[in-house]
Amino acid sequence: MIGRTLAAASMILTLAAVCHAASNPAVDIKTAYGESDLYVLYKDGTIMTVGTAVNYGQTSNVDVIEMELTPSRNGYYVLDAEGHVHTFGDALPIGEPVLGRTEKIVDMEVTSDLTGMYFLTQEGKIYTAGEAVFRGEFVMDGAVDFELTTDSQGYYVLYDDGEIAFFGDASDSGTLTSSKQKAVDLQVVNGGYYVLYSDGAIQPFGQATSLPPVSGLQSPAVSFSFTSQGYRVVDQSGTVFSVIRPELQSLTQSISGAGGFSTWYAQTGAAPAQTTPTPKPGDPFFTIGGTSFKQKVIAKLPLDSTVPDFMTTGQVSLPKGGVILVTGVSDGPARRLRYFAADAAVGAGYSGVLFAELTSGRGAAEIRGISYSDKGLNVLVSDYDGLYLLLIEGVFESSGITGFQNL
């Protein structure tokens, strides 16, 4: 294994948002979409979401150590300290490791096709579940991180002293051991990888280009995640530091590193506010125009249920000729129900009435289909924790659009 010297870097500005008490340390960070949408996981299972990242649920009464997002970003897996895997959103159960009494789990990884899982213990032992392929292990105390190669045909194991073990088609691009700073996280990129150290330094290997370290850490760094504009580091206190690429800022600051010369500028400002709160049990799904209508949940499908497109429709005809359509806004998801009366003026100037809309508290929920019966309007909704069948009751066509109000 090849040793390298940590590159020196000048001080940079940082975005620091204190998000949680230090008594409950942050343990992981994941980017959902783009730059401003992220998850921060804390030891007690609390999940902080930023931007439009959706909280699909969280654990309670158990310490956790890791989370992995599903490819759709509509769910995630959370690994607790006892080796149990908790699924939320569209994450489906794959399996769990059978640990020895003294073994301590430290990391997990999910294959890109969601058919297998890998689990890493502190001693470097590797357990597999589902269709994950075991390719070897290097038993040594201090293992901290496990990462699959880009094609999932190999994997890397990082140890806290900076050593890296390689298996399958994982390529040895070098290591850097340190007796002062602990290695805490590994990120694989095309042609190389990065290692994050507890002091915030990020060391590139192989073809990975040089990155500046973060400054102003309030406690040891625990994890980092790439974004569309740069990367983010979270320390144990829950403070998130964001560094973005130079071409996205007018002001720059230069550093030199082992991977070549790079120019970076660290973003400043406040962290974006949460915009998609987690729905609470009993919260209504729809805001409905008109007080004569009532809504209720009549069924919830199992979490792994899917509904073929041919079984759903975005339009229903009412007995007296009226029509209800499912609509969205621009390219957004279908979240609205619009009513068109049969006896209304017909023409290009008639746009119907916005009758019902999924509440903002329903975050990423989407209407999947509607149907009509003598009981009322049946609506199939895809929400963060599965498919719901709802019934909107009321008199839909007593006399034209009577009873409907534009929201």
State pLDDT tens for residues 54-112: 889 898 888 999 999 998 888 999 999 999 999 998 899 999 988 888 899 999 999 98
pLDDT of residue 257: 29
Contact, 293 vs 362, CB < 8 A? no
Task: State phi, psi for 282 to the nearest 5 degrees.
Answer: 95, -15
Nearest to 150 by CA among 185, 186, 115, 190: 190
Pick from 230, 212, 277: which is nearest to 10 by CA?
212
Q: How many CA atoms lie within 13 A of 124 on its CB side?
A: 18
pLDDT of residue 186: 96
User: What is the chain's mean pLDDT, rounded?
Assistant: 79
pLDDT per residue over 268-305, tens digit each?
333 334 444 555 666 789 998 877 889 999 998 876 67
Instruction: Indicate the range of 107-111, 177-181, 309-313 predicted with least confidence.
Output: 309-313
Q: Which of 31, 26, 58 is nearest to 43 (CA)?
A: 26
pLDDT cut 90: percent of the chain above it: 35
CATH 2.130.10.10 region(s) of the chain? 26-266
**Cα distance between residue 109 and residue 274, in whole Å:** 27
Given a contact cutoff of 8 angstroms between Cβ atoms, the answer to whether 44 and 54 are in contact is no
Phi, psi of 309 (to 5 degrees): -60, -35
| CA angle, 169 then 174 then 179, to 5° | 130
Residue 348's pLDDT band, with cuts at 50, 70 and 90, is low
Q: Please tell me the predicted confidence (pLDDT) of residue 158.
A: 96
Alpha-carbon gap, residue 75 to 351, rounded angstroms? 36
Q: Pick the residue with more confidence: 252 or 380?
A: 380
Nearest Cα to Cα of residue 377 among 308, 292, 316: 316
124 and 102 in contact (C-beta within 8 Å)?
Answer: no
Q: What is the torsional sign of CA 48, 49, 51, 55?
A: negative
Check residue 347 and report its DSSP letter. Answer: S
User: What was the pLDDT predicted at 406?
Assistant: 62
First CA to last CA distance, the chain: 66
Overall pTM > 0.85: no
Q: What is the CATH number of domain 26-266?
A: 2.130.10.10
Higher local confidence (pLDDT), 196 or 35: 196
**Stretch among 13-27, 319-333, 379-393 having the lowest mean pLDDT:** 13-27
Identify the weakest region by mean pLDDT among 160-174, 191-205, 334-348: 334-348
Cα–Cα distance measured from residue 11 to residue 282, given in angstroms and rounded to the nearest whole number: 50
Tell me what pLDDT residue 23 has: 67
Burial environment of residue 45 by CB neighbours within 10 A (0 to 12, 13 to 18, 19 or more): buried
The DSSP bridge partners found for residue 310 are: none
Tokens encoding 272: 């974006």
The DSSP line for 309-325 is: GGG--SEEE-TTS-EEE
The pLDDT assigned to 366 comes to: 86
d(CA 13, CA 242): 9
Task: Measure the CA–CA gap between 196 and 175, rounded to whole angstroms.
Answer: 12
For residues 105 and 94, the answer to whether their CB atoms sit within 8 Å is: no
Assess whether pLDDT exceeds 70 at residue 14.
Answer: no
Residues 194-233, buried b or exposed e (16+ Cβ, 10 A)?
bbbbbbbbbbbbbebebbbbbbebeebbbbbbebebbbbb
Task: Please give the average per-residue pLDDT across 188-216, as a whole number.
Answer: 87
Mean pLDDT, residues 220-246: 81
Distance CA 398, CA 400 (A): 6
Contact predicate 61/76, CB 8 Å: no
Residue 309 makes CB contacts below 8 A (sequence gap 6+) with none
Question: Tokens 């709160």, residue?
Answer: 277
> Does 265 have pLDDT greater than 50?
no
pLDDT for 311 equals 62
